[in-house]
Amino acid sequence: MAANTDFTLPRDAYATFDALTLKNLIKNRLREGGVFTDQDFEGSNLSAIIDVIAFSYHLSLFYLNQTSSEALFDESTVYENINRITKLIGYKPTGYKTSALSFDAQAGPLLPRNIYTIKRYSYFMVDGIPYSFINDTTFSKTNIAEETLSELATNNLLYQGKYVEHPPLFAVGEEFENVPLVVKDTINNNQINIEDSSINVYVKSFSTGKFIAYTEIDSIFNARSADYVFEKRLNENGFYEIKFGNGVNGSKLSAGDAIYIYYLKSDGESGQISPGGLDGNNLNIFTTTQFEEISNSIYDKDLVILTPERAAFITFTNANASTTPSNIETVEEIRTNSPRSFFAQNRIVTNDDFVNFITKNYSNIVSSSVLVNNDAFVDNVIKYY
- The length of the chain, given as a count of residues: 385
Q: Which run of H or E residues covers position 43?
A: none
Q: What pLDDT is stored for residue 260 in this prediction?
A: 97
SS3 content of the chain, % helix, strand, coil (to 5): 30, 20, 50
Q: What pLDDT is stored for residue 6 in this prediction?
A: 53
pLDDT tens-place values along the chain, 385 residues long: 445 555 455 555 555 566 777 788 888 888 888 888 888 888 788 888 888 888 887 777 666 655 555 556 666 767 777 777 777 777 888 889 999 999 999 999 999 999 999 999 999 999 999 999 999 999 999 999 999 999 999 999 999 999 999 999 999 999 999 999 998 887 777 778 999 999 999 999 999 999 999 999 988 988 999 999 999 988 878 889 999 999 999 999 999 999 999 999 999 999 999 999 999 899 999 999 999 999 999 999 889 999 999 999 999 999 999 999 988 888 888 888 777 776 666 666 676 666 667 666 666 666 667 777 777 777 777 777 7
Residues 320, 324, 325: CA angle, nearest 5 degrees = 135
Do 104 and 166 meet the contact criterion of CB atoms below 8 Å apart? no
The sign one gets for the Cα dihedral 26, 31, 34, 35 is positive
Q: Residues 6 or more apart from 89 whose CB is under 8 A from it?
A: 338, 342
CA-closest candidate to residue 93, choices 104, 103, 82: 82
Distance CA 19, CA 297 (A): 67
φ, ψ of residue 326 in degrees (nearest 5): -125, 145
φ, ψ of residue 261 in degrees (nearest 5): -115, 135
Do 133 and 158 meet the contact criterion of CB atoms below 8 Å apart? yes
Distance CA 238, CA 183 (A): 10
**DSSP secondary structure letter of residue 380:** I
Distance CA 192, CA 238 (A): 10
Q: What pLDDT is stored for residue 367 in this prediction?
A: 64
Q: What pLDDT is stored for residue 91 in this prediction?
A: 82
**Strand pairing partners for 252?**
none
Integer angstrom CA distances of residue 322 from 266, 273, 286: 13, 6, 22
**pTM of this prediction?**
0.74
Q: Residues 6 or more apart from 138 whose CB is under 8 A from it?
A: 115, 116, 117, 118
Q: In 3-state terms, what secondary structure has residue 16?
A: coil
Q: What pLDDT is stored for residue 1 in this prediction?
A: 43
Per DSSP, the residues of 129-174 read EEEE--S-EEEEE-SSS-EE-HHHHHS--EEESEEEEPPPEE----
Integer angstrom CA distances of residue 206 from 203, 209, 255: 9, 6, 8
Distance CA 193, CA 85 (A): 25
Q: What pLDDT is stored for residue 126 in this prediction?
A: 94
The sign one gets for the Cα dihedral 200, 205, 206, 208 is negative
Q: Which amino acid is at 137?
A: T
Do 146 and 109 meet the contact criterion of CB atoms below 8 Å apart? yes
Distance CA 169, CA 278 (A): 36
